[in-house]
Structure 1
Amino acid sequence: MKKQFNRMKQLANQTVGRQVLKLIERRMELVRVVSHNTHKRMVSCLQGHIGADTEKRHKKLPLTSLSQAMVEGGNQLGEDSLIGKMMEVCGDAENRLASELMQHELQLEKDVLDPLSQLAEVDIPNILKQRKQLAKLVLDYDSARARFTCTVFSQKKGTMPATLSQ
């Protein structure tokens, strides 16, 4: 009778443990999906291309091409022309703005996008995998402990050693 009671108690604990595990897995999956979607949306807001080196990124920015057109237009009008000088100055200012934008995007990628990607693609799947492995090992441990306890009870005729009762 006691053996059946212990087995039912173990099954009840395993059922509760599975429910908690499913709840944790659902929450972790939700965090992973939110991280992934946030990363995708933030990348779509960037004007430069993610992962490219600084020169390629700088050349592909819309401000850079506009600034080059302004400088070329100023050169065509001549250095003596007031409009030509103004276009060159505006082109240089836009070029500096493009450099600042590029530096900002690089910093954003390093500080926000890379950790979000790491979380969604590496960390959360590893946590879920290790959590499943831990749950399996805990169930194996509970089962072995229950078998060991039953063996000790049968050998000692119902008396439990002091080390197991604590």
Structure 2
Amino acid sequence: MKKQFNRMRQLANQTVGRAEKTEVLSDDLLQIERRMELVRVVSHNTHKRMVACLQGQIGTDAEKRHKKLPLTALSQAMQDGGNQLGEESLIGKMMEMCGDAENRLASELMQHEMNIEKEILDPLNQLAEVDIPNILKQRRQLAKLVLDYDSARARWLQATKSIISGTNTQALTAKADSLKEEVDEAMNKMELCKDQLSADMYNFFSKEADYARYYVMLLEAQADHHRKSLTLLESVLPTIQAQQGDCTVSYCCVSEITTSET
């Protein structure tokens, strides 16, 4: 009993005067935490603005997306106008042919925006709305566990002090031992949470280059889309221009014949 009493007194003397608030994260982890919150905010804002640039309706299937595109509406209006004017009209003929080209451009745009959504928008949203918030949630959980540990340790320290000045040493020692078990349990929970949080934070930090890649991918996708659109236009323009020339010649011949007959 005397040895146990001396051990409790030694522990009390060692821990008296220590800071009551436990600091569990290193300076580099605290910097990563601040960076994560900033990355979350800018990723959220960028995702929002990127969605606003899309002409199609995000989250819908290809057919619905294609129908909602302004280019599709333009194509339909031109083709309807061409049908109303008829193929004997030069304007009607050109409207119909150009309307078909606009529809093909709309299909290309639809595919481009669906790729943007899958390859860039979805990962950005996952990062800003799921991955980082989950890690920050762990950080809040760790803060709670730290408070639980500090509270348990404070109760235990108070109990060890009572042993020194108290008279019922056996009862006070038993109480202190019980409180020490609570401290150990609280510390284990805190350390487990800290280890998982640290691993997740360092994993986030190691993937920063991957997150930066999304913005490069956006420009690459835009460049590819414009190349495909230009290729499409260059493939149909000669045919349309030739058809326009033929229609113009035919229209002029008909006009001359009509004039001479008059």
TM-score, normalised to structure 2, is 0.47
CA RMSD between the two structures: 3.3
Contact 1:73/1:84 (<8 A) preserved = yes
Q: Does 1:77 align with 2:85?
A: yes
In the TM superposition, residue 98 of structure 1 has moved relative to its aligned partner by 0.5
Q: Which residue number in structure 2 is paired with residue 163 of structure 1?
A: none
Q: Does 1:7 align with 2:15?
A: yes
Which of 88, 94, 109 does residue 101 from structure 1 map onto?
Answer: 109
* 1:79 aligned counterpart, secondary structure: coil
Contact 2:142/2:190 (<8 A) preserved = no
- For residues 130 and 143 of structure 1, what CA distance do their matches in structure 2 show? 11
Larger radius of gyration: 2
Once the two structures are overlaid, the 10-residue window that deviates more, 59-68 or 122-131, is: 122-131
In the TM superposition, residue 133 of structure 1 has moved relative to its aligned partner by 4.2
* 2:87 aligned counterpart, secondary structure: coil
Q: Does 1:52 align with 2:60?
A: yes
Q: Which residue number in structure 1 is paired with residue 128 of structure 2?
A: 120
What are the equivalent positions in structure 2 for 1:121-136 lying under 5 Å apart? 121-133=129-141
Q: Which residue number in structure 1 is paired with residue 73 of structure 2?
A: 65
- For residues 39 and 143 of structure 1, what CA distance do their matches in structure 2 show? 35
Which of 31, 48, 59 does residue 39 from structure 2 map onto?
Answer: 31
In the TM superposition, residue 59 of structure 1 has moved relative to its aligned partner by 1.0
CA offset digits 1:60-105 (Å, max 9, x no partner): 1111111111111111121233322211110000000001001000
Once the two structures are overlaid, the 10-residue window that deviates more, 63-72 or 77-86, is: 77-86
- For residues 43 and 123 of structure 2, what CA distance do their matches in structure 1 show? 10
Write the letter of the residue equivalent to 1:120: A
Contact 1:10/1:142 (<8 A) preserved = no
| Structure 2: runs of 5 or more not aligned | 1-8, 148-186, 192-262
